[in-house]
């Protein structure tokens, strides 16, 4: 499209939105270049705002835009010229709505794929025209319409956006809203993307535009994915390894990198919610759509095989490449080490040489006979290298006084494997803070501000004493952090499936299912596997107190696999699955119970517990449970030895029970996985201070469910 034609076409739109031509031209030539291409099949408009003139700035919205853009280009086949991004001061109400109408509305045709993304603040506004009604609104870069009258706000009503999405001529429309609308009065931990509600006068141009949209005949029902499902739930952004990002955007894009999306979007949201919980937030993503059982036909990737990233650049020597690694699980990325390996679809291997945030440098492992490298090639994890000296990181809430931080620093320094930072300055696992309702008490909180059970001190208790009492809990939380680092459902090459079931008198009821997908050899078998998930997965895993539970595990690989189950129960205490060996002399009181390996032969399946006499019953209180099923091609000798060192009484011989020495067991587990990989010496030059795990030799599936 010629520049003159574009200006003529957009003139009427700008007039409606109250924008002058000069203001529009300030966006620069990039916008015109994006529109100058032939009518595309895939279009995207991505919005990100960190800098706000009237309020505290955010940190992760521009990263969100980058995460979405790289995903759409490398995983979904979008052309870079068909993705329009508006960031910071470009993202005013006028420019966003004009770009929507012209870039999406006038170019999209029936059957085209359209993606809209917004990362920034949201709020609730009471309009002067309807003072009894609160409405959700997206806060744009120019919060106030002018500096003279702050009561006139330049927000985009959520209702306006939904009508714009419905106005598009294609039924393949997906919107992602990483924002929330109800601000919390006090916040511990991660930043929230919501401003306090206000009585405001909305810009007359916005109200007029909304009325125009209401007069249209809109039949399209888009898929709208929201970061939260409840009004009081905040959308949060986290600080990761050298970058900040919205938790929802990061978890969603990471899932779409590694997995072939299930046809029903609720299944994807179940995986995303699981990731959000591990990142310290209880926010529950939502599907804002009137469609029942919405298909994600607009979120089907070009390549059915997932990946951990893609080649983003190639240096002149042709042997060194830059990688974008947004497909790695967020909790793993922070520790992803030098000498980790990736496989290209052309079978070459890349060896990681350095990493900064989401980007890394790697070199091709074998030069002779290698195919030329290409930008955009997908890379899949082959070997994961992690350091052995991983600490639990505690952040000090900014509400602590200086002397309180000094005392806390001194107290935490007494623990090995624990380090401290100031909240918001570096990545952390938990937050040490005052209780809001009782400022003379201290406690340990998740990054999302949830108090960890059994971590609070007494009223008026000294900081050091409260911290010293945390010793057992800190050991448990570090152990959980370590076994979470094994998660590799997306990259494992072992073909395994595990189903969590509630046992009743009729037939077991499926709660949730996890399986490795990349181990399947053909596209047909992958599609069949995905279809199985559609039937057997539930969007929100809920288990009533008192339920009898079991896991059904299928080994679809050609090798025997060994199994360990570790987890946190609903009061953040460690648990494990125990496969007790029947004592040789059951009548002898001193006979110590012995644990045996759980092994599943190729093509076989088993249930845990393995017999009806050993029942696993869910107890209260109502909260969240998290469990990790970890498989290896070699026995868990060290892990079982660590489990056997604890002094269990005969009365404690339950199938799933307390884990008395969680850190010892977790460290032994990581070493067992390292031993199972049996990598060549040249691939494992840092064995003394690192773990190296081969995706052909281990799988780790994560289950999180809510107890009610």
3-state secondary structure of 341: strand
Under the banding of pLDDT at 50, 70 and 90, the label for residue 593 is: low
Q: How far apart are CA 482 and CA 199, in angstroms?
A: 48
3-state secondary structure of 313: strand
- Round the average pLDDT of the chain to a whole number and report it: 84
3-state secondary structure of 174: strand
3-state secondary structure of 676: helix
Under the banding of pLDDT at 50, 70 and 90, the label for residue 46 is: very high
Q: Is residue 538 located within the same domain as residue 492?
A: yes
480 occurs within a structural domain: no
Q: How far apart are CA 69 and CA 244, in angstroms?
A: 16
318 occurs within a structural domain: yes
CB neighbourhood size of 493 (10 A): 20
In SS3 terms, 6-59 reads as HHHHHHHHHHHHCCCHHHHHCCCHHHHHHHCCCCCCEEEEEEECCCCCCCCCCC
Residue 304 is predicted with a pLDDT of 65
| pLDDT of 168 higher than 50 | yes
* Torsion sign over Cα 493, 494, 500, 505: positive
What is the C-alpha end-to-end distance of the chain, expressed in Å?
58
Domain boundary among the residues 179, 208, 226 is at 226
664 occurs within a structural domain: yes
Q: How far apart are CA 37 and CA 6, in angstroms?
A: 12
**Cα Rg of the chain, angstroms:** 27
Q: Is residue 380 located within the same domain as residue 497?
A: no
Q: Is residue 446 located within the same domain as residue 489?
A: no
Q: Is residue 199 located within the same domain as residue 56?
A: yes
Distance of CA 542 to the CA centre of its chain: 20
Please state the φ and ψ torsions of residue 251, each to the nearest 5 degrees: -65, -40
Residue position matching structure tokens 């959700």: 136
Mean pLDDT over residues 295-308, rounded?
66
Residue 2 is predicted with a pLDDT of 41
Q: Which ranges constitute the DSSP H helices of 492-584? A: 523-536
- Among 429, 413, 391, smallest CA distance to 572 is for 429
Residue 672 is predicted with a pLDDT of 97
2, exposed or middle or buried, with CB in 10 Å at 0-12, 13-18, 19+?
A: exposed
Domain boundary among the residues 226, 242, 264 is at 226
Under the banding of pLDDT at 50, 70 and 90, the label for residue 60 is: very high
Under the banding of pLDDT at 50, 70 and 90, the label for residue 63 is: very high
CB neighbourhood size of 216 (10 A): 10
Lowest mean per-residue pLDDT among 148-162, 583-597, 651-665: 583-597
Please list, in sequence order, all residues whose beta carbon lies within 8 angstroms of the beta carbon of residue 542, skipping any fewer than 6 positions away.
Answer: 511, 705, 706, 708
329 occurs within a structural domain: yes
Q: Is residue 610 located within the same domain as residue 647?
A: yes
| pLDDT of 310 higher than 70 | yes
Q: Is residue 151 located within the same domain as residue 205?
A: yes
Q: How far apart are CA 297 and CA 288, in angstroms?
A: 16
Mean pLDDT over residues 263-276, rounded?
77
What is each CA distance from 508 to 474, 607, 626, in whole angstroms?
36, 11, 20
Q: Of 493 and 151, which is predicted with more confidence?
A: 493
| pLDDT of 20 higher than 70 | no
Residue 413 is predicted with a pLDDT of 96
Proportion of the chain above pLDDT 90, given as a percent:
57
Q: Is residue 380 located within the same domain as residue 400?
A: no
- Among 271, 706, 280, 312, smallest CA distance to 530 is for 271
Q: Is residue 400 located within the same domain as residue 375?
A: no
133 occurs within a structural domain: yes
Residue 22 is predicted with a pLDDT of 46
**672-705 pLDDT per residue, tens:** 999 998 765 445 455 678 999 999 999 999 999 8
252 occurs within a structural domain: no
Residue 506 is predicted with a pLDDT of 79
| pLDDT of 90 higher than 80 | yes
456 occurs within a structural domain: yes
Q: Which CATH number fits the domain that encloses residue 212? A: 3.40.50.1460
Query: If you count them, how many residues does the chain have?
Result: 708
Residue 367 is predicted with a pLDDT of 60
Domain count, the chain: 4
* Torsion sign over Cα 233, 58, 258, 289: positive
| pLDDT of 457 higher than 50 | yes
Mean pLDDT over residues 68-93, rounded?
94
Lowest mean per-residue pLDDT among 30-34, 132-136, 266-270, 350-354: 30-34
| Residue 196: both structure tokens together | 């306090």
Contact 702, 626 (CB under 8 A): yes
CB-side neighbour CA atoms (13 Å) of 333? 26
Q: How far apart are CA 384 and CA 493, in angstroms?
A: 13
Lowest mean per-residue pLDDT among 233-247, 267-281, 451-465, 692-706: 267-281
Q: Please count the helices (runs of H) and the strands (runs of E) in the chain.
A: 16, 40
| Residue 144: both structure tokens together | 């106030």
- Strands 561-568, 598-600: pairing is antiparallel
CB neighbourhood size of 380 (10 A): 21
DSSP 483-540: HHTT--TTT--S-EEEEEEEE-SSSPEEEEEEE--TT--SHHHHHHHHHHHHHH--SS
| Residue 373: both structure tokens together | 């490298």
- Strands 496-503, 580-581: pairing is unpaired
DSSP 594-624: EE--EEE-TT-EEEESSSTTS-EE--SSSEE
Highest mean pLDDT among 16-30, 391-405, 646-660: 391-405
Q: Partners of 119 in the beta sheet?
A: 48, 178
48 occurs within a structural domain: yes
Strand order in the sheet with 156-157: 144-146, 149-153, 198-202, 122-127, 134-138, 156-157
Q: Is residue 444 located within the same domain as residue 525?
A: no
- Strands 698-707, 542-543: pairing is parallel
Q: How far apart are CA 205 and CA 218, in angstroms?
A: 21
| Residue 323: both structure tokens together | 């990688």
| pLDDT of 146 higher than 60 | no
3-state secondary structure of 665: helix
Q: Of 638 and 612, which is predicted with more confidence?
A: 638
Q: Is residue 432 located within the same domain as residue 342?
A: no
Q: How far apart are CA 563 and CA 556, in angstroms?
A: 14
Q: Of 55 and 180, which is predicted with more confidence?
A: 180
Residue 439: give the domain boundaries. Answer: 392-470
3-state secondary structure of 103: helix
89, exposed or middle or buried, with CB in 10 Å at 0-12, 13-18, 19+?
A: middle
Residue 303 is predicted with a pLDDT of 63
DSSP 8-state symbol, 186: S
Mean pLDDT over residues 241-258, rounded?
93
| pLDDT of 456 higher than 80 | yes
Contact 51, 119 (CB under 8 A): no
| Residue 336: both structure tokens together | 């992803």
Lowest mean per-residue pLDDT among 89-103, 121-135, 653-667: 121-135
pTM metric for this prediction: 0.89
Q: How far apart are CA 56 and CA 657, in angstroms?
A: 46
Residue 318 is predicted with a pLDDT of 84
| pLDDT of 23 higher than 80 | no
| pLDDT of 14 higher than 90 | no
Please list, in sequence order, all residues whose beta carbon lies within 8 angstroms of the beta carbon of residue 199, skipping any fewer than 6 positions away.
Answer: 125, 126, 128, 131, 151
Q: Which CATH number fits the domain that encloses residue 378? A: 2.40.10.170
Q: How far apart are CA 208 and CA 518, in angstroms?
A: 51
4, exposed or middle or buried, with CB in 10 Å at 0-12, 13-18, 19+?
A: exposed
Under the banding of pLDDT at 50, 70 and 90, the label for residue 88 is: very high
| pLDDT of 424 higher than 60 | yes
Highest mean pLDDT among 303-317, 363-377, 533-547: 303-317
Contact 184, 197 (CB under 8 A): no
| pLDDT of 220 higher than 90 | no
Domain boundary among the residues 226, 256, 285 is at 226
CB neighbourhood size of 133 (10 A): 9
Q: Is residue 328 located within the same domain as residue 451?
A: no
**357-387 pLDDT per residue, tens:** 999 999 998 766 668 889 999 999 999 999 9
Contact 349, 343 (CB under 8 A): yes
Q: How far apart are CA 92 and CA 138, in angstroms?
A: 11
DSSP 8-state symbol, 264: B
Q: Is residue 539 located within the same domain as residue 643?
A: yes
Contact 60, 119 (CB under 8 A): yes
| pLDDT of 578 higher than 90 | no
């Amino acid at each position: 499209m010629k520049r003159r034609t574009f200006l003529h076409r957009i003139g009427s739109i700008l007039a409606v939105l109250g924008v002058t031509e000069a203001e529009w031209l300030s966006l620069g030539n990039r916008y015109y270049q994006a529109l100058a291409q032939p009518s595309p099949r895939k279009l995207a408009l991505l919005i990100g705002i960190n800098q706000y003139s009237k309020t505290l700035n955010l940190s992760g919205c521009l990263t969100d835009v980058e995460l979405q853009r790289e995903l759409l280009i490398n995983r979904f086949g979008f052309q870079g010229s068909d993705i329009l991004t508006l960031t910071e001061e470009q993202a005013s109400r006028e420019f966003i709505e004009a770009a929507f109408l012209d870039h999406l509305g006038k170019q999209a045709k029936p059957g085209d794929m359209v993606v809209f993304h917004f990362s920034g603040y949201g709020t609730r506004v009471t309009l002067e025209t309807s003072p009894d009604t609160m409405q959700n609104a997206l806060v744009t870069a120019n919060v106030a319409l002018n500096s003279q009258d702050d009561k006139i706000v330049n927000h985009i009503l959520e209702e306006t956006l939904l009508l714009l999405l419905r106005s598009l001529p294609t039924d393949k429309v997906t919107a992602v809203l990483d924002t929330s609308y109800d601000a919390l009065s006090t916040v511990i931990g991660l930043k929230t993307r919501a401003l306090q509600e206000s009585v405001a006068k909305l810009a007359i141009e916005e109200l007029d535009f909304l009325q125009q949209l209401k007069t249209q005949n809109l039949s399209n029902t888009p898929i709208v994915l929201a970061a939260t499902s409840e009004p009081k739930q905040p959308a949060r952004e986290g600080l990761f390894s050298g970058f900040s990002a919205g938790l929802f955007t990061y978890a969603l894009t990471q899932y779409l990198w590694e997995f072939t999306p299930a046809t029903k979007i609720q299944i994807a949201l179940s995986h995303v919610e699981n990731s959000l919980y591990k990142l310290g937030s209880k926010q529950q993503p939502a599907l804002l759509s009137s469609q029942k059982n919405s298909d994600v036909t607009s979120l089907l990737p070009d390549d059915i095989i997932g990946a951990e990233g893609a080649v983003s650049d190639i240096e002149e020597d042709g042997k060194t490449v830059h990688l974008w690694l947004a497909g790695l699980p967020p909790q793993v990325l922070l520790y992803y080490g030098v000498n980790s390996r990736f496989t290209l679809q052309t079978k070459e291997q890349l060896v990681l040489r350095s990493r900064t945030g989401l980007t890394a440098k790697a070199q091709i492992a074998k030069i002779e006979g290698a195919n030329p490298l290409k930008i955009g090639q997908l890379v899949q994890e082959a070997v994961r290298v992690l350091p052995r000296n991983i600490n639990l990181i505690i952040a000090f809430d900014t509400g602590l006084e200086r002397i309180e931080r000094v005392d806390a620093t001194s107290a935490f320094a007494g623990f090995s494997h624990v380090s401290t930072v100031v909240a918001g300055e570096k990545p952390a696992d938990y937050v040490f803070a005052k209780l809001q309702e009782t400022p003379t008490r201290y406690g340990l909180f998740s990054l999302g501000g949830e108090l960890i059970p059994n971590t609070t001190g007494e009223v008026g208790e000294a900081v050091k004493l409260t911290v010293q009492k945390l010793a057992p809990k800190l050991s448990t939380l570090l152990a959980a952090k370590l076994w979470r680092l094994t998660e590799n459902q997306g990259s494992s090459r072992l073909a395994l499936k595990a189903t969590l079931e509630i046992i009743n008198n009729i037939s077991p009821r499926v709660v949730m299912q996890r399986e490795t997908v990349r181990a399947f050899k053909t596209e047909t078998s992958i599609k069949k596997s995905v279809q199985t998930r559609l039937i057997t997965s539930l969007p929100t895993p809920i288990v009533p107190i008192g339920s009898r539970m079991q896991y059904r595990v299928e080994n679809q690989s050609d090798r025997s696999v060994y199994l360990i189950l570790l987890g946190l129960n609903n009061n953040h205490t460690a648990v494990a699955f125990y496969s007790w060996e029947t004592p040789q002399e059951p009548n002898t009181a001193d006979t110590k119970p012995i644990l045996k390996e759980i092994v599943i032969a190729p093509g076989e399946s088993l249930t845990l517990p393995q017999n009806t006499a050993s029942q696993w019953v869910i107890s209260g209180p109502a909260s969240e449970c998290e469990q990790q099923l970890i498989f290896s091609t070699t026995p868990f000798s060290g892990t079982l030895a660590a489990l056997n060192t604890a002094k269990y009484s005969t009365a404690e011989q339950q199938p799933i029970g307390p884990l008395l020495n969680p850190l010892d067991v977790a460290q032994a587990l990581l070493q067992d996985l390292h031993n199972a990989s049996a990598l060549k010496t040249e691939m494992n030059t840092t064995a003394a201070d690192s773990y190296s795990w081969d995706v052909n030799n281990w799988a780790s599936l994560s289950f999180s469910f809510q107890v009610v």
